[in-house]
Amino acid sequence: MYRDKYTVKRYRSMTAYIVLCVFFIMVMANALCIAAFNLMYMAGMIGQPAPMALLLLMLSISTIIGSVLTALFSGKVLSPLLELTEAMQRVGKGDFDVKISELSPIYEMRQLQENFNLMAKELGGTQMFRDDFINGFSHEFKTPMVSVYGFAKQLKNGGLAPEQQEEYIDIILSESQRLINLSGNILMLNKLENQEIVTDKELFSLDEEIRRSILLLEPQWSKKNMSVIPQLERTEFYGNAEMLKQVWLNVIGNAIKYTDLNGEITVKLYSRKPAEVTVVVSDNGIGMDNATLSRIFEKFYRGDSAHGSGGNGLGLAMVKRIIELCGGTIKVKSEPSRGTDFYIYLPNENGQESLSRRQERKAPAAK
């Protein structure tokens, strides 16, 4: 790592300071040894005092050896510390690519270096995510605004046939709705990211709530002549129905969007564990490759823009955050041209309570 003149000067000053400290410590230690020998002689504990010349020789040799060893090995301690200080300064200036490659043999220092590398990596990822978010938002916001401005300007200039006017007005309305949806999704996602607990919980029928979501999406799957097959077990669920509704609308809506005409979607709801429910949404659509699978929950990411009309890449990011807030998990399996399966696992407090009640009914009454 390159070091400027000030850094080198500081390094040398610290080394000299440590050597000087060790030198004085060695001198004091030897002086105390001489004084101890004399006191022991005066107290009659030893027969004769140690020769002064021998003591002075031991003092000189030990002091020199101690100082030389300190000068040689101080770099082993100071160099990693100095490198860490420089790396922290670079991070403070916004350089998150810095990494300490040569780790110290001292365990505590090595742990500090490894933790620094991890911190720098996390900060770099956060910065990249922030830049991607800003770029994605700017693109998603600018595109409909340009359309609204362009067609509004054409309408103001006049000279258009009634059919063209109607077409331009429809485009303006459509792009305006797209902006409304974008801002609404961003506000909702921001609220979810700053939320730590799920509020407004109530007991509701989860199977009926999923069935209503399928019906709300009926215009979309009917337009593509698709079959949506619900296989929903009766399930009483304790949670926020309105929040979870966003999950079903987005996941099923995505399945509709990325499935071709005459396709088939299956929505299953079942419970294999007393305190957990599983929802599986399967389609026989275009599927995804591994590169797309690894990024589908990122903000503004859309794997197939040709099929993603009207989307803004925020739906699945919201889905993942809602499921995390509920204490659940989401998994995805997909292959290109072979469809996609979304697996959603949610803990159900009501399910555990129902199990306890069933066990109480089965237990013999106390006499």
Sorted by where each begins, the domain ranges of the chain are 5-95, 124-193, 202-354
List CB contacts of 139: < 8 A, sequence separation 6 or more.
300
Rounded to a whole number of angstroms, the CA Rg of the chain reads: 36
CA distance 229 to 268: 8
d(CA 25, CA 113): 30
Q: Phi and psi for 270 in degrees, rounded to 5?
A: -155, 170
Q: Write out the chain's pLDDT in tens, 367 residues.
A: 444 555 556 656 666 666 666 666 666 666 666 676 667 667 666 655 556 665 566 666 666 666 666 655 655 666 666 777 777 777 777 777 777 777 766 677 778 778 888 888 777 766 665 666 666 666 667 777 888 888 888 888 888 888 888 888 888 888 888 787 777 767 776 677 666 777 788 899 999 999 999 999 999 999 999 999 999 999 999 999 988 998 999 999 999 999 989 999 999 999 887 789 999 999 999 998 888 888 888 877 766 544 444 556 778 888 999 999 899 999 999 989 889 999 999 998 765 554 444 445 444 443 3
Helix ranges, 238-344 (H)? 241-257, 290-293, 315-325
**Contacts for 5-12: CB closer than 8 Å, 24+ residues apart:** 7/82, 7/86, 10/82, 11/78, 11/79, 11/82
Cα separations in angstroms, 5 against 8, 11, 167, 332: 5, 10, 69, 55
pLDDT of 306: 47
Phi and psi for 2 in degrees, rounded to 5?
A: -70, 135
Count other Cβ atoms within 10 Å, centred on residue 9.
Answer: 11
Q: Distance between CA 95 and CA 124 in Å, rounded?
A: 8
Give me 167's structure tokens: 């077409």
* Beta-carbon contacts of residue 330 (< 8 Å; ≥ 6 apart): 319, 320, 323, 342, 343, 344, 345
**pLDDT at residue 1 in the model:** 46
CATH number for domain 124-193, candidates 1.10.10.10, 3.40.50.150, 1.10.287.130, 2.40.30.20: 1.10.287.130
The per-residue pLDDT for 11 is 56
Q: What pLDDT is recorded for position 365?
A: 44
Residue 232 has a pLDDT of 94
In CATH, 202-354 is 3.30.479.10:
no
pLDDT score, position 115: 83
